[in-house]
Structure 1
């Protein structure tokens, strides 16, 4: 957006009475200090508008001393308070000259792109990711003006590895309540936050469940209450179950008839003159069919441990249950549950094998191959402490895409040695002999056409022990993000145990751990290499 439009949006959000009655701004800067050039680089900056006295104008380092990131950079966090006039000057400098400075001097920032104003509601029925990097967005919500670092070369130039980034954000989180862990797309950004503080509210369902009662308490400085209206709706199963649009100005006590309030109720209070949101409320009420658990202390359980006695406070649970009736909501929820269960099975998101002793190995392998074909266009990784050539030929070898990176990690130690030897019918097999035989079979049992497979082993000298088994996709073009499945058992045990194939909700965490171990094993060179198709 052009500077004129950006300044117009800024003026709209800061005008007294539009969102609040701001008197100052708190500026928090998280920066990486370049040790060689002695310059700070922006990692994340947030400017929060507040109603507190503007007389407080100081500059504090929240880090007593710079914290090590790596040999090139250190971490620092600075916080200062600015008057509205000062912060407007800084904003204009940013939009007109692409510059940002604080009391300590010029801050190196990326080439930032402006984003149109956004309203960020508080967490309610679901978590809002951006709230992890905003300040105290608990109530009515906040508007933000965001300047976005779209290049994100900061990861390669500053952190250089996911592990360094992970440790850095943990250090930040220990100092201030800003968590970049799962929203790293905001690293390098500058955000102006405008909390909405015009009112507080309390809502409840009507007795007959055909709407809501909404009580409002206004900020004492609000003089234009007649300008505010409300939209309310109730949704269930993708259907709009109720709707309400206030025609008259809002009162302190409002009776809202939507037709239904049994499910997720959403209210938006907004100013009709400037179309700014004063509150976005999303919640559900404790209804006719509910179960409430109450805890009561019930003594102490003691356990004799090796060095001391451990005490566990035991609690009794008292359940209060309403009279449950089979209404249309109950039937719809049951259908949704059954459909979701079928959908998860069809998408192989969660499926179990070996139930009641049934041998499901063939089906389990078929499902793994389906996943490999569906999501493996950018590569497939397999992480299993008992892998050998047979397992890989039954799984990763079935990837039909030429030369995509295929990686596998296994383990060779005292416990896995017996299993590796037993699978080759060789008792007490040595590490070197096991690798020699594996390589020979890889060469003879396939022509390895179009295969880009690297198979490495964690041994006593390199890497660390692992137990869980995963099928990983570094990037699924179907999902537009990484994807990871937990296998529930080793590939060689698919016919022996009951297990569950399950898609994980946080694939990046597992992928990062795999990559960290892979990097360590790769750095060890041939000491950890079982087989590389490109070398043969």
Structure 2
């Protein structure tokens, strides 16, 4: 415990990580039905504020607010400031006794975990950045007290809907997302940003040789010292393809390290004198100076669909067939790689990463329509090369409303069905009916396809399969699968 407090005191010393004179404290708290206060999240941030600030508490919410899923619970957000020389005692009490505020409910199993350094987001996101304040430049050290049992928050954590709604309400006041890092609920975090210098990593090429340069700009009040600069290439298949390190002398503004232009890099600036990281990147991707961005010329043509008296006209994107295969646009890796819990519900819904539909409520027809629209959205967003649709209840009308609306010409589309009857259907599906109906259904589908206009069929690359007789197996889940290339 004492070592932790010493680490914090050293990190807060002027000239180590920066020059800070105040701790900004933001508390998100709950008031239970029995009128007891619990910590939802407390974030302490070391800052340098030139003008004196009042240390009294101020509420960021005009009044306590509630959410529908937690009856009788209230929530609020407040902010205040603690002077640097007084934060040590507060943190010592938190470490020893687990008490931050005597008004708060006791925390059964609060433990301090080892300090860690948090880099800014790159094309990879760092989940804890959803809670930290402005962690944009070099990164920050975080000292954290972890509520391992979360006894005070069982009701909240047992309801994903309540957690999401609380997160959205907090986000209206603070630029944080607690639902994306729900394991931090009940925790206390001290964030100390590294502002003693600014570090920039960049790629240079000279005579076919690549090098990584690191430029350093010290704070005007900093005492310069020697630094260790290292870079390693992010690993693929658990293979390390490069690691480089050099000493940057205190009077040198930059340094260059040889590097193979194969992988994304992670650059680190380390202060060996005080044993602190001063800057660290997340994997950053290089674009080779020789890289070329190629484009394809595309034209539009119409696809006319007619079924059961309904006609639709789809504008189909057709790549220029004259473009050579070697010059065709390459598939670019999606660098965002956002995990579901990294996003708010609004983002998840907008991107169709996670959407719920009410298939049995009074608005089930509207819900079905929204689901179909979202499915078509995903097909047209990701179905440039190939789309596979698995659905045990798949009918021709379903194919007509989904796959045939793919705006990419000759995208490879495969539809797989068990020819099962939907649970809410008035039809029956005995084994005998199923066996006798399978081949008839396939024949009817074929007739429906061949009835489409000739120009429409030219832009389609569709294969339909189903279980017949003893061939194949039934299945119950629904899938849509996209392939990047074929």
Q: What's the TM-score, normalizing by structure 1?
A: 0.55
Asked whether the 8 Å contact 1:100–1:109 carries over to 2, the reply is: no
Q: Which has the higher strand share?
A: 1
Match of 1:312 in 2: none
- Cα deviation, 1:439-484, whole Å, max 9, x if unaligned, reads xxxxxxxxxxxxxxxxxxxxxxxxxxxxxxxxxxxxxxxxxxxxxx
Asked whether the 8 Å contact 1:234–1:258 carries over to 2, the reply is: no
Quickly say closer, same or farther: Cα 1:242–1:162, change in 2 above 3 A.
closer
**Other structure's SS at 1:185 match:** helix
Quickly say closer, same or farther: Cα 1:159–1:54, change in 2 above 3 A.
farther
Q: What's the TM-score, normalizing by structure 2?
A: 0.60
- Cα deviation, 1:198-253, whole Å, max 9, x if unaligned, reads 11133321123521222221111111x22322112224534433332113415554
Asked whether the 8 Å contact 1:24–1:53 carries over to 2, the reply is: no
Equivalent-residue separation in structure 2 for 1:356 and 1:502 (angstroms): 10
Q: CA deviation at 1:71?
A: 2.8
The question of 1:133 aligning with 2:139 is answered no
Asked whether the 8 Å contact 2:226–2:247 carries over to 1, the reply is: no
**Other structure's SS at 1:27 match:** strand
Q: Which has the higher helix share?
A: 1
Quickly say closer, same or farther: Cα 1:19–1:163, change in 2 above 3 A.
same
Asked whether the 8 Å contact 2:59–2:77 carries over to 1, the reply is: yes
Asked whether the 8 Å contact 1:169–1:181 carries over to 2, the reply is: yes
**Other structure's SS at 1:8 match:** helix
The question of 1:245 aligning with 2:245 is answered yes
Asked whether the 8 Å contact 1:115–1:146 carries over to 2, the reply is: yes
Asked whether the 8 Å contact 1:206–1:212 carries over to 2, the reply is: yes
Asked whether the 8 Å contact 1:73–1:158 carries over to 2, the reply is: no
Find the partner of 2:46 among 40, 44, 49: 49
Match of 1:12 in 2: 10
Find the partner of 1:199 among 191, 197, 200: 197
**Other structure's SS at 1:86 match:** helix
Give the gaps of 5 or more residues in structure 1: 294-323, 334-349, 363-383, 388-415, 426-488, 504-536
Match of 2:230 in 1: 231
Q: CA deviation at 1:113?
A: 0.7
Q: CA deviation at 1:174?
A: 1.4
- Cα deviation, 1:57-102, whole Å, max 9, x if unaligned, reads 242201100001333310100011121123223112212332112x
Structure with greater contact order relative to length (CA < 8 Å, sep ≥ 6): 2
**Other structure's SS at 2:38 match:** strand
Match of 1:210 in 2: 210
Q: CA deviation at 1:106?
A: 2.4
Alignment of 1:86-125 (within 5 A): 86-101=86-101, 106-111=103-108, 112-125=110-123
Asked whether the 8 Å contact 1:42–1:109 carries over to 2, the reply is: no
RMSD of equivalent CA atoms: 4.0
The question of 1:151 aligning with 2:149 is answered yes
**Other structure's SS at 2:425 match:** helix
Q: CA deviation at 1:292?
A: 7.6
Equivalent-residue separation in structure 2 for 1:108 and 1:43 (angstroms): 11
Q: CA deviation at 1:35?
A: 4.1
Quickly say closer, same or farther: Cα 1:235–1:274, change in 2 above 3 A.
same
